[in-house]
Amino acid sequence: MDDEAEIYDGVRSQFPLTFGKQSKSQTSLELIHNATRRAATKTTTAAAGKPSSTEPDDLPSMSSSSKAWLDSLRNSKSPTPNPNFARDDGDGPTVGPPRPTDEEDRGAEMIGPPRPPPGQGSVEYEDGDALIGPPPPPAGSAESDDDGEIIGPPRPPPVSNLSDSDEDADENDDDEEENHYRIPMSNEIVLKGHTKVVSALAIDHTGSRVLSGSYDYSVRMYDFQGMNSRLQSFRQLEPFEGHQVRNLSWSPTADRFLCVTGSGQAKIYDRDGLTLGEFMKGDMYIRDLKNTKGHISGLTWGEWHPRARETVLTSSEDGSLRIWDVNDFKSQKQVIKPKLARPARVPVTTCTWDREGKCIAGGIGDGSIQIWNLKPGWGSRPDIYVEKSHSDDISGLKFSADGKILLSRSFDGTLKVWDLRQMKAPLKIFEDLPNHYAQTNIAFSPDEQLFLTGTSVERESTTGGLLCFFDRAKLELVLRVGISSTCSVVQCAWHPKLNQIFATSGDKSQGGTHILYDTTLSERGALVCVARAPRKKSVDDFEAKPVIHNPHALPLFRDQPSRKRQREKILKDPLKAHKPDLPMTGPGFGGRVGTTQGSLLTQYLLKQGGMIKETWMEEDPREAILKYADAAAKDPKFIAPAYASTQPEPVFAKSDSEDEEK
């Protein structure tokens, strides 16, 4: 036996460890992300008036220099290397395909970009970020055809040797300007599940969980870490039945979130979607809003404090802003009443904190913007008051991180940029941005060089819902990205850690959250869940549905219905519950004379003829009784026979003469 075991071990050692094992075929990440690549749509910039990509009808699919390289891999007939392979050639790890050897350079056509000159290293941008993707080729290696279209990767930014021709300088400037913003928008996925427009969006600070609220009264929770390519939510909530979800906001620690609906009470949920409490509702019959313990009308907006994990701000249609403590749901900490031109109850349409949580801005229904600084002894009097900032309701406000810029979005189709040091007039007004939703917001890019907002779909428009990007320094529109041809874009966000852009859209019949990302610029988030294939069902997942035999299903075993239910059933039956008619006992209908309103002679004589007269109201009761005195004396029937034996003759009291004289 020992000899056989040794022989077996000796034979087994001649084979590799993977001998006899069946390896599952895995789809490359490139093919997976190619399925989510954005379709080509016409998108132009308003500033330049020309297409934003090299092709006239295509979107800029990738903002890095690896676009042409991926195109060459897709169109090549040779086997494509794995672009996600990391190598280390001594200058540090580089992401991209392995470099060809010298023999391959001399004897075969090179696949992918050529090797950079020795000593060049990785190319860096002005902001210090390393270029992600294959290294750019040396200058002069890219070939062009007669039409001027560049074949291969684009030229690198000039390092030392500058060309004297004006055409090369213009092309380099265009490349630098295109790569300067590095907007992740080459790929796109959609988180579906809502049946109406998605009006609220919140991503936690780690970028692992996403919340979406809709006009269908529900909130859906998505988890990137546990979600696969099916992109399904792991939990669905309905905070208030019949009330739209207006806004969602995570706490600074991302352990709880605030849900604001059309009702007068906001709710607090934990990270897993369990209800922690709801705020108090005020007394609607109290005129002074400062004396109520909560809002008395529907909420319009709400945000968590950016620093304090116990403080929440809400605004309402009752014309007040309130600061709450999440540990005390019975009453608010502070009530802010905005300044109004005349006494009235004007709704507060939106509100926001600044980055440090030391300032509050509110958009009032009369078109004004009011700002309060949180300081000791502060009250409802605003520190900054901008009257008639917009001609319609304000849907969104946003502070910059440095506290110098305030952005405002309104129903009048404009986006205004305000300088907080000089609020008399806006710095810039961007028009032709249709807005039909009260939750349309504004968002900054992570470096705050750009800010973006969505547009709504108009009836006669053919552009659809767009996501517009604006340059903060130049104050101009730099890019328009088509999100949906039939749905409006409501809320948007650019997550700093994931480097992915979120945009909610929808209409009366559908709604979803679009996520734009780049395979070379973005991290985790959509990249993880798209590459994770759904788990296949196994034998252990089979569940036999049990057959339930009800013993009382047969009529023989059924219990007799109660008498109360029988009476209720009879009362609902119109035939059985009908009241029978009264019997006929004479002229008339139903035993009553005169109900037929006919022309009988008896009725005419008794009523209209005047033969029946009621004179008892005019007669004296004494005389009415004494007129029967003679008949009673002659023929006594009732009282007289009872006294016939004891008092045959009636004795009446005799009147005293003295009393009569008096």
The residues pairing with 37 across neighbouring beta strands, listed in sequence order, are 187
The stretch 230-256 carries a mean pLDDT of 94
For position 34, what pLDDT does the model report? 86
CA 229: distance to chain centroid? Answer: 23
Q: Which helix (DSSP H) or strand (DSSP E) does residue 350 occupy?
A: strand 348-353
How far apart are alpha carbons 415 and 389 in whole angstroms?
11
For position 150, what pLDDT does the model report? 44
- Please tell me whether residue 605 adopts helix, strand or coil conformation: helix
Cβ contacts of 227 within 8 Å, gap of 6 or more: 234, 529, 532
Report the candidate in 379, 327, 370 with the shortest Cα–Cα distance to residue 350.
370
The whole-chain average pLDDT of the chain stands at: 77
Tokens of residue 291, six digits: 């004396």
DSSP state of 283: P
The residues pairing with 489 across neighbouring beta strands, listed in sequence order, are 505
How far apart are alpha carbons 276 and 289 in whole angstroms?
26
Between 616 and 472, the higher pLDDT residue: 472
Q: Which helix (DSSP H) or strand (DSSP E) does residue 187 occupy?
A: strand 187-194
Quick one: fold of 187-534? Methylamine Dehydrogenase; Chain H (2.130.10)
Tokens of residue 175, six digits: 């490349």
- Please tell me whether residue 549 adopts helix, strand or coil conformation: coil
Report the candidate in 375, 380, 440 with the shortest Cα–Cα distance to residue 408.
440
Report the candidate in 523, 485, 484, 521 with the shortest Cα–Cα distance to residue 504.
484
For position 476, what pLDDT does the model report? 94
For position 184, what pLDDT does the model report? 93
pLDDT digits (tens, 9 = 90+) for 62-106: 333 344 444 544 454 444 444 443 444 444 444 444 444 444 443
For position 585, what pLDDT does the model report? 58
Report the candidate in 361, 388, 385, 364 with the shortest Cα–Cα distance to residue 373.
361
221 touches 237 (CB < 8 A): yes
Q: Which has the minimum average pLDDT: 385-389, 449-453, 538-542, 656-660? A: 656-660
DSSP state of 21: -
Plot region of 231 (φ>0 → left; ψ -120 to 50 → alpha; else → beta): left
The stretch 468-493 carries a mean pLDDT of 94
For position 159, what pLDDT does the model report? 41
**For 286-311, b where at least 16 C-beta lie within 10 A, e where not — what string?**
eeebeebbbbbbbbbbbbbbbeeeeb
Query: Between vectors from CA 617 to CA 611 and to CA 620, what angle results, nearest 5°?
Result: 110
Hey, CA dihedral for 211, 214, 217, 222, is it positive or negative?
A: negative
Report the candidate in 385, 382, 222, 244 with the shortest Cα–Cα distance to residue 301.
244
For position 640, what pLDDT does the model report? 72
How far apart are alpha carbons 438 and 350 in whole angstroms?
9
Taking the CA atoms of residue 147, residue 153, residue 159 and residue 165 in that order, the dihedral angle to the nearest 10 degrees is: 0
How far apart are alpha carbons 418 and 28 in whole angstroms?
48
Residue 404 has pLDDT above 90, yes or no: yes
Between 321 and 132, the higher pLDDT residue: 321
For position 83, what pLDDT does the model report? 41
Residue 118 has pLDDT above 70, yes or no: no
For position 97, what pLDDT does the model report? 44
213 touches 522 (CB < 8 A): no
- Please tell me whether residue 396 adopts helix, strand or coil conformation: strand
Q: Where in the chain is the domain with CATH 2.130.10.10?
A: 187-534
Cβ contacts of 274 within 8 Å, gap of 6 or more: none
For position 656, what pLDDT does the model report? 64
For position 615, what pLDDT does the model report? 65
**For 68-96, b where at least 16 C-beta lie within 10 A, e where not — what string?**
bbbebbeeeeeebbebeeeeeeeeeebbb
| Per-residue CA distances from 410 to 283, 414, 625 (Å) | 31, 6, 92
Taking the CA atoms of residue 495, residue 255, residue 524 and residue 238 in that order, the dihedral angle to the nearest 10 degrees is: -80
pLDDT digits (tens, 9 = 90+) for 370-391: 999 998 878 889 999 999 999 9
Terminal-residue alpha carbon distance, the chain? 157
The residues pairing with 313 across neighbouring beta strands, listed in sequence order, are 303, 323
Calculate Rg over the CA atoms of the chain. Answer: 44
The full 3-state SS of 101-138, as one line of letters, equals: CHHHHHHCCCCCCCCCCCCCCCCECCCCCECCCCCCCC
* Sheet of strand 369-373: strand arrangement: 348-353, 359-364, 369-373, 384-386
pLDDT digits (tens, 9 = 90+) for 136-195: 554 444 343 444 444 444 554 544 443 444 545 555 555 445 457 889 999 999 999 999
The stretch 502-525 carries a mean pLDDT of 93
Rounded to two decimals, the pTM is: 0.63
For position 75, what pLDDT does the model report? 52
DSSP state of 541: G
Tokens of residue 263, six digits: 């009702």
Between 493 and 70, the higher pLDDT residue: 493
User: Which of 6-10, 23-27, 35-39, 146-150 has the largest mean confidence?
Assistant: 35-39
How far apart are alpha carbons 282 and 570 in whole angstroms?
46
Query: Between vectors from CA 555 to CA 549 and to CA 560, what angle results, nearest 5°?
Result: 115
Residue 348 has pLDDT above 90, yes or no: yes
For position 641, what pLDDT does the model report? 77
Contacts 24+ apart (CB under 8 A), 55-60: 59/185, 59/481, 59/482, 60/178, 60/183, 60/185, 60/479
